[in-house]
Amino acid sequence: MIETDVAIIGAGPAGLFAAFECGMLKLGSVLIDALEEVGGQCVALYPEKPIFDIPAHPAIEAGALVAQLELQIAPFAPRRLLGRRVEALEGSAGQFRLRTDKGDAVAARAVIIAAGAGAFGPNRPPLAGLATYEATGAVQYYVRRREDFRGHTVVIAGGGDSAVDWALQLKDVAARVHVVHRRAKFRAAPESAAQLDTAAARGEIEMVIPYQLHALHGRDGALEAVEVADLDGATKLIEADRLLPFFGLAMDLGPIAQWGLDLERHHVQVTPATCGTSVPGIFAIGDVATYPGKLKLILQGFSEAAMAAHAIHPIARPGESLHFEYSTTKGVGAP
Ligand SMILES: Cc1cc2nc3c(=O)[nH]c(=O)nc-3n(C[C@H](O)[C@H](O)[C@H](O)COP(=O)(O)OP(=O)(O)OC[C@H]3O[C@@H](n4cnc5c(N)ncnc54)[C@H](O)[C@@H]3O)c2cc1C
């Protein structure tokens, strides 16, 4: 049994910063994440993309932001349980018990759920033999490194921001980029869609519209062509060795939905002033938390982490008064 003050479920940006805020209040914490590395969506989905709305960083790549957060929490050395999904949460304020799918048991006085989109995963296209091509990397749902696509012929499917952004980013490294979308209008940000039109007009990107994915052709997981169909069912083949379907993320709270918390459409309802959920002692922050006016932004998750940590202090340290202090006054010391 691992004992701690605060069990933090999810090590995305909100969970990582919660470990910092807990540390500043001399509360120990354990970070638990289903993924093998910390960073949540930033590392799993878009590590090389610059983020422009982190305060005091005019631009910072998502992976670099997570690296900075790691440096920031280092003085408090929170224990990490990675590659483990929290399956069960029982008990009450002051004495919670968590269990992971790998059999770890954690005892905590309070819990912060920073589970983002929950057990998020891509919406997968219904294509025969898809798993074989996923296994070889011929079909991927995230771009971890642009360089991995150098020299490849890539089909990108979808009409949202990811499809358009990655088409624009990969056109300079891939041998050829084809964008398959079922209608002429894209849901992506208007400036990005305009850039896509310009690149297509220059012949830098091949637009395949109005088409949708129909079948994959290849051998032993080596992709040779993507078959697309128009709305009348007429098909054609695009020679390609990589397919990137960007059909959005499926949000699934997974086990969290069974913990008796008040939910609102796959999110955990919280009181905005404390980020407390409907169960005393359990808090939710970041993308998973909802309240009127909620913005799903990293900076919002950071602020929620601070509020939750302060609200947890009386639960974890009953009878001990908490004097509000600036970090400039107290510095950064281990709990
Ligand atoms: C392409 C893209 C671009 C974006 N650009 C911006 C931007 O410019 N600015 C901005 O502010 N935001 C941006 N965002 C959104 C931003 O990434 C999210 O708001 C942020 O990641 C939310 O952080 P989080 O810590 O709440 O959750 P997440 O980053 O989703 O992390 C949650 C973690 O919880 C883990 N988890 C879930 N359930 C369990 C469980 N039961 N047990 C253990 N672990 C669990 C998951 O594995 C995950 O690692 C972007 C998102 C995407 C996809």
Q: What are the tens digits of pLDDT across the range 172-185?
A: 999 999 999 999 99
Residue 120 confidence (pLDDT): 65
How far the first Cα of the chain sits from its last, in Å, is 20
Residue 110 confidence (pLDDT): 98
* Ligand 1 mean position, distance from CA 37 (Å): 13
* Ligand 1 mean position, distance from CA 66 (Å): 11
Element (H, E) at 163: helix 161-170
* Ligand 1 mean position, distance from CA 329 (Å): 31
The tokens describing 237, both together, are 């083949």
The tokens describing 205, both together, are 């990107």
Nearest to 25 by CA among 328, 323, 329, 275: 323
Residue 13 confidence (pLDDT): 98
- DSSP character for 276? B
State if residue 47 touches ligand 1 by the CB under 6 angstroms criterion: no
State if residue 243 touches ligand 1 by the CB under 6 angstroms criterion: no
* Ligand 1 mean position, distance from CA 321 (Å): 33
Ligand 1 nearest-atom number relative to CA 87: 41
Question: What single letter denotes the amino acid at residue 201?
Answer: A
| Block mean pLDDT (10 aa), the chain, length 335 | 97 98 97 92 87 97 97 96 94 97 96 88 90 96 90 97 94 98 91 95 97 97 97 96 90 90 95 97 97 97 98 96 89 69
State if residue 19 touches ligand 1 by the CB under 6 angstroms criterion: no
How far is it, in rounded angstroms, from Cα 240 to Cα 226?
6
Tokens 């408090």: give the residue: 76
Q: Kindly give, in sequence order, each residue whose CB lies less than 8 Å from that of residue 189, ignoring residues fewer than 6 positions away.
A: 161, 164
Residue 177 confidence (pLDDT): 98
Ligand 1 nearest-atom number relative to CA 301: 26
Question: What single letter denotes the amino acid at residue 82?
Answer: L
Residue 137 confidence (pLDDT): 95
State if residue 16 touches ligand 1 by the CB under 6 angstroms criterion: no
State if residue 34 touches ligand 1 by the CB under 6 angstroms criterion: yes
Tokens 């050395």: give the residue: 77
Strands 235-239 and 242-245: unpaired
Q: Kindly give, in sequence order, each residue whose CB lies less than 8 Å from that of residue 201, ignoring residues fewer than 6 positions away.
A: none
Residue 260 confidence (pLDDT): 95
Contact 91, 109 (CB under 8 A): no
How far is it, in rounded angstroms, from Cα 330 to Cα 173?
49
State if residue 98 touches ligand 1 by the CB under 6 angstroms criterion: no
Residue 119 confidence (pLDDT): 67
